[in-house]
């Protein structure tokens, strides 16, 4: 017993001291390590998924690559840590990852009680349902009495309870720890419906044994602003993540792309000059070099480019820009000015 | 005569070399280090939590949970229930699957263990294959096998397998009639209570009679008649008198699934099957070892007294084998309880799945949640050991 106590004490102290050390100056520790650790999805097509060679792709992955590009001028200096929904915030709190870029919804309680900050929103989403066509269901309002598969530890799980309660319908929830287990259970017929963010529904449908047998219902039952999260209290690090996304948005708005970024360097447009670092010292202000945004665009691309490549028309998901179009085109993505 | 050597004054030893003083010193030092480590860990944790603005304390247990759970033994709803109630739901689910698993694993384990020693070649080999197969495959894989390969392919609700008497089987689980009790049901339960008491009295009397006269009575039959017969008789009498003490709510086909009745989740069945068959393989080996520890002379002596093989096993061998069996059997019970936390892999809402999964994630209070969960498993295990130790003392050899 005494031995056990001592080892518990040692374990606790070791882990707690470790937390203390990494709670500040994330940028320095990333530079020291020489790579960024990025908490990513265990596998969600279009957002964060490894291929057979272990190369990660996706919209959330590209954000990590962009951060690495801004710091190291090399988007490959990222180590991805796949995290299940229920483990993701603990991994970030404990310092296991530097940034969590894993389609996580920004909510008030996560922002204020979990010791996290959500610097920006890189995808506006909402929760939906998918069912088998053979059920003949055309609206989520008809799901009274259905079994529904969902991933635990998500806002999805909570919205589901709210929605059925508000509509006075009964349901049976079957919650699994990972998205993989959840979808497999739905696909094997354990549940009538599968629920997650709409983007996730389209992504997961591709993995179904017969994708055409499933239909996504029209209702969107929640707001899901998805974005990267960092530990609370390291403002410099939060700034880097926030401005990485904003640099990609501004680049799209100004027409700066991966292909033309070198020519754009000679542009006389003051906004482009500030973005690419030929005017002002914006990079130094966040602890980076002044060509930080140039590095991001050169190595990864602007927001429109990564959207199209990962989830848009150029990808298997074929999701429309919709809410994620630039504000100038009727969407919600609004690049905060660099000046 | 006087001794020439006078008593030498005991050498003045430095008190640093006194083994008693040293012993005390080391113990005090150890306690001080351990307390310091605890103190440092606790204050450091509190500091870090505050600096990171992570909520702390146990107040979260009273906040509204806001999520639903598939299997709840107490009333639980997303609207009104708290994280504390979610904890109770998870705990009860863990206890239920462990308790039923322990009973089934014990029965199956004893059968397989005894069968492995059978003189019938076929029976012995089948038992051997069972033991070697199940105890050498990781439990997690077995759970996934039961859940995905065995229960997964069950038909969809619209094609439910009808098993008669209101029992249905489909991919959503096993459905059965739910008993509904009327107010006069107490008569039936009273009959059951009377039956149990009467059985105990009869058994006591029969044992005394056998000790005095050697005459044996059909204890098994009488027990069955009293415990089952009396309540059924009471029910029949009530039904004839026009009352209806117990009626059944049958599962009916609904839009998506069967409605009404009682439902046993496939996650529960898969976990129970996995835990039972896996632990039974270990219990079988424990039982086999226990029986082999009873010397052959005992069996031969019983045989020469004219006892049948079944009686020999039941009256002579097993009681002596129990002394060897109980301590390792306790470990197997503890293992089963702790292994039930693998439920998380197949979506059964046990303590770890509900509390360490959803609640930890929604509240972000990892330290509190993990400490509570560890405390619960420790308590369950210590309580199990405590009762098994009492039983062990009862069956232990009495030295005269």
Q: Mean pLDDT for each 10-residue chunk of chain A (339 residues)?
A: 44 46 73 94 90 91 96 94 89 92 92 91 94 90 91 90 91 89 90 92 88 90 94 92 96 94 92 92 92 95 94 88 92 93
* Structure tokens given for B47: 């500091």
Same-domain status, B86 and B195: no
Query: What letters, b where the CB count within 10 A reaches 16 and e where it falls short, cover B300-314?
Result: eebeeeebeeeebbe
At residue B253, does pLDDT exceed 90? no
Averaged pLDDT of chain B = 87
Burial of B264 (0-12, 13-18, 19+ CB in 10 A): middle
Nearest CA in chain B to A4: B34
Nearest-angstrom CA–CA distance, B300 and B274: 38
B389 to chain A nearest CA, in Å?
18
What SS3 class is residue B247?
strand
Of B54, B266, B353, the CB nearest to A114: B54
User: 10 Å Cβ neighbour count for A312?
Assistant: 19
User: 10 Å Cβ neighbour count for A185?
Assistant: 26
- Closest CA relative to residue B280, chosen from B130, B119, B121: B130
Looking up residue B73, the CATH number of its domain turns out to be 1.10.3720.10
Considering only CB atoms, which chain A residues are within 8 Å of B66? 158, 161-162
Residue B291 inside a domain? The answer is yes
Is there a contact between B54 and A190 if contact means CB atoms under 8 Å apart? Answer: no
What pLDDT is recorded for position B400?
65
Same-domain status, B28 and B67: no
At residue B382, does pLDDT exceed 70? yes
Is there a contact between B67 and A189 if contact means CB atoms under 8 Å apart? Answer: no
Q: What is the mean pLDDT of residues B323-331?
A: 91
Is there a contact between B37 and A162 if contact means CB atoms under 8 Å apart? Answer: no
- Closest CA relative to residue A68, chosen from A35, A24, A32, A101: A35
Nearest-angstrom CA–CA distance, B174 and B169: 5
Nearest CA in chain B to A5: B34
Residue found by looking up tokens 């989520």 in the block: A140
Same-domain status, B375 and B233: no
What does the domain layout of chain A look like in residue ranges?
25-124+225-327, 127-222
ipTM of the complex, rounded to two decimals: 0.78
What SS3 class is residue B164?
strand
What pLDDT is recorded for position A161?
92
**CATH of segment(s) A25-124+225-327:** 3.40.190.10
Of B40, B68, B366, the CB nearest to A90: B366
Strand partners, B264: B174
Of A86, A158, A172, the CB nearest to B357: A86
Same-domain status, B91 and B127: yes
pLDDT class of B4 with cuts at 50, 70, 90: low
B134 to chain A nearest CA, in Å?
24
Q: Tell me which of A4, A91, A114, A127 to substitute to probe the interface with B (most B C-beta atoms closer than 10 Å).
A: A114
User: 10 Å Cβ neighbour count for A126?
Assistant: 16
Of B148, B266, B347, the CB nearest to A176: B347
Q: What is the mean pLDDT of residues B291-303?
A: 91
A208 to chain B nearest CA, in Å?
16
Same-domain status, B282 and B353: yes
Considering only CB atoms, which chain B residues are within 8 Å of A177? 344-345, 347, 353, 357
Under DSSP, the state recorded for B357 is I
Strand partners, A227: A104
User: 10 Å Cβ neighbour count for A125?
Assistant: 24
Under DSSP, the state recorded for B52 is T
Contact present, A192 and A135 (Cβ < 8 Å) = yes
Is there a contact between A188 and B152 if contact means CB atoms under 8 Å apart? Answer: yes
At residue B87, does pLDDT exceed 70? yes
Same-domain status, B43 and B63: no
The pTM for the full model equals 0.81
* Structure tokens given for A179: 């998205």
User: 10 Å Cβ neighbour count for A212?
Assistant: 8
Which residues, at least 6 apart from B287, have a Cβ–Cβ distance to it below 8 Å? B109, B110, B112, B113, B114, B321, B325
Is there a contact between B66 and A161 if contact means CB atoms under 8 Å apart? Answer: yes
Q: Tell me which of B347, B369, B382 to substitute to probe the interface with A (most A C-beta atoms closer than 10 Å).
A: B347
Residue B396 inside a domain? The answer is no
Of B54, B66, B156, the CB nearest to A93: B54
Q: What is the mean pLDDT of residues B24-33?
A: 93
Residue B172 inside a domain? The answer is no
Same-domain status, B47 and B63: no
Nearest-angstrom CA–CA distance, A106 and A225: 6
Residue B116 inside a domain? The answer is yes
Same-domain status, B376 and B276: yes
- Closest CA relative to residue A46, chosen from A149, A198, A195: A198
Which residues, at least 6 apart from B374, have a Cβ–Cβ distance to it below 8 Å? none
Nearest-angstrom CA–CA distance, A138 and A126: 18
What pLDDT is recorded for position A5?
43
Considering only CB atoms, which chain A residues are within 8 Å of B254? 145
At residue B137, does pLDDT exceed 60? yes
The number of distinct structural domains making up chain B is: 3
Q: What is the mean pLDDT of residues B306-330?
A: 89
Is there a contact between B45 and A16 if contact means CB atoms under 8 Å apart? Answer: yes
Same-domain status, B244 and B299: no
User: Of the spans A48-57, B204-213, B225-234, which averages the highest pLDDT?
Assistant: A48-57
Considering only CB atoms, which chain B residues are within 8 Å of A185? 347
Same-domain status, B278 and B342: yes
The Cα-based distances of B149 to A139, B152, B154, B163, B265 in angstroms read: 32, 6, 10, 21, 16
pLDDT digit string (tens) for B43-83?
888 887 777 777 778 888 888 888 888 888 888 887 788 99
What SS3 class is residue B271?
helix
Give the range of the structural domain holding residue B27, as residue numbers without chain letter: 17-51
Residue B163 inside a domain? The answer is no
Residue B164 inside a domain? The answer is no
Of A277-281, B93-97, B108-112, B173-177, least confident by mean pLDDT is: B173-177
Strand partners, B179: B248
CATH 1.10.1060.10 fits A127-222, yes or no: no
3-class secondary structure per residue, chain A: CHHHHHHHHHHHHHHHHHHHHHCCCHHHHHHHHCCEEEEEECCECCCEEECCCCCEECHHHHHHHHHHHHHHCCCCCEEEEEECHHHHHHHHHCCCCCEEEEEEECCHHHHHHECEECCCCCEEECEEEEEEHHHCCCCHHHCCCEEEEEECCCHHHHHHHHHHHHCCCCEEEEEECCHHHHHHHHHCCCCCEEEEEHHHHHHHHCCCCCHHHEEECCCCCCCEEEEEEEECCCHHHHHHHHHHHHHHHHHHHHCCCCCCHHHHCCCCCHHHHHHHCCCCCHHHHCCCCCCHHHHHHHHCCCHHHHHHHHCCCCCCCCCCCHHHCEHHHCCCECCCCCC
pLDDT class of B7 with cuts at 50, 70, 90: low
pLDDT class of B157 with cuts at 50, 70, 90: confident
What pLDDT is recorded for position A284?
92
Nearest CA in chain A to B49: A115
């Amino acid at each position: 017993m005494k031995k056990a106590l001592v080892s518990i004490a040692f374990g606790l102290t070791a882990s707690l001291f470790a937390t203390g050390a990494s709670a500040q100056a994330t940028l320095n520790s990333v530079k020291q390590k020489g790579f960024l650790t990025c908490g990513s999805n265990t596998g969600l097509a279009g957002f964060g998924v490894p291929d057979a060679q272990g190369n990660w792709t996706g919209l959330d992955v590209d954000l990590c690559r962009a951060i690495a590009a801004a710091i190291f001028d090399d988007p490959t200096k990222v180590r991805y840590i796949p995290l299940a929904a229920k483990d993701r915030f603990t991994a970030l709190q404990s310092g296991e990852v530097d940034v969590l870029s894993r389609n996580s919804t920004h909510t008030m309680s996560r922002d204020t009680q979990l010791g996290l900050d959500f610097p920006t929103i890189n995808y506006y989403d909402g929760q939906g349902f998918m069912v088998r066509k053979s059920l003949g269901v055309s609206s989520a309002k008809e799901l009274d009495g259905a079994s529904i598969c969902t991933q635990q530890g998500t806002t999805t799980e909570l919205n589901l309870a709210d929605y059925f309660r508000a509509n006075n319908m009964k349901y049976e929830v079957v919650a699994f720890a990972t998205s993989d287990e959840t979808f497999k259970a739905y696909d094997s017929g354990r549940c009538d419906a599968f629920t997650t963010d709409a983007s996730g529904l389209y992504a997961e449908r591709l993995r179904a044994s017969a994708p055409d047998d499933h239909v996504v219902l029209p209702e969107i039952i929640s707001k899901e602003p998805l974005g990267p999260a960092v530990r609370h209290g390291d403002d410099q690090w939060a700034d880097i993540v926030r401005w990485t996304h904003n640099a990609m948005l501004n680049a799209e708005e100004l027409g700066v792309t991966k292909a033309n970024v070198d020519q754009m360097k000679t542009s006389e447009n003051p906004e482009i000059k500030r973005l690419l670092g030929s005017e002002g010292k914006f990079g130094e202000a966040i602890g980076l070099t002044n060509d930080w945004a140039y590095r991001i665009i050169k190595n990864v691309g602007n927001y429109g480019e990564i959207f199209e490549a990962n989830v848009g028309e150029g990808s298997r998901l074929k999701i429309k820009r919709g809410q994620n179009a630039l504000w100038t085109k009727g969407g919600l993505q609004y690049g905060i000015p660099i000046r | 005569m006087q001794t020439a050597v006078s008593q030498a004054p005991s050498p003045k030893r430095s008190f640093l070399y006194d083994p008693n003083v040293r012993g005390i010193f080391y113990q005090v030092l150890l306690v001080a280090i351990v307390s310091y480590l605890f103190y440092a860990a606790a204050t450091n944790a509190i500091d870090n939590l505050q600096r990171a603005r992570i909520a702390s304390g146990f107040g979260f247990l009273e906040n509204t949970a806001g999520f639903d759970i598939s299997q709840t033994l107490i009333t639980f709803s997303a609207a009104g229930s708290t994280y504390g109630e979610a904890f109770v739901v998870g705990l009860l689910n863990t206890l239920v699957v462990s308790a039923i698993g322990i009973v089934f694993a014990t029965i199956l384990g004893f059968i397989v263990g005894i069968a492995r020693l059978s003189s019938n070649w076929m029976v012995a080999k089948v038992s051997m294959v069972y033991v070697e197969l199940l105890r050498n495959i990781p439990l997690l894989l077995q759970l996934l096998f039961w859940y995905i390969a065995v229960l997964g392919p069950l038909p969809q609700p619209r094609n439910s397998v009808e098993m008669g008497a209101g029992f249905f089987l489909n991919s959503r689980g096993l459905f059965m009639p739910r008993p509904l009790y009327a107010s006069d049901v107490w008569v039936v339960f009273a009959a059951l209570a009377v039956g149990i008491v009467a059985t105990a009295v009869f058994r006591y009397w029969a044992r005394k009679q056998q000790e005095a006269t050697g005459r044996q009575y059909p204890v098994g039959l009488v027990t069955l008649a009293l415990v089952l017969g009396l309540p059924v008789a009471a029910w029949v009498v009530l039904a004839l008198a026009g009352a209806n003490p117990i009626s059944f709510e049958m599962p009916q086909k609904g839009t998506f699934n069967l409605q009404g009745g009682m439902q046993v989740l496939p996650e529960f069945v898969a976990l129970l099957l996995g835990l039972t068959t896996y632990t039974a393989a270990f219990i079988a080996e424990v039982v086999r070892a226990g029986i082999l520890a009873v010397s052959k002379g005992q069996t031969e002596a019983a045989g020469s007294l004219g006892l049948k093989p079944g009686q020999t096993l039941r009256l002579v061998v097993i009681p002596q084998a129990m002394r060897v069996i109980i301590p390792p059997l306790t470990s197997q019970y503890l293992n089963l309880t702790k292994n039930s936390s693998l439920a998380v892999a197949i979506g059964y809402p046990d303590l770890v799945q509900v509390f360490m999964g959803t609640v930890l994630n929604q509240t972000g209070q990892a330290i509190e949640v993990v400490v509570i969960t560890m405390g619960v498993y420790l308590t369950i295990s210590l309580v199990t050991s405590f009762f098994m130790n009492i039983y062990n003392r009862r069956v232990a050899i009495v030295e005269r």
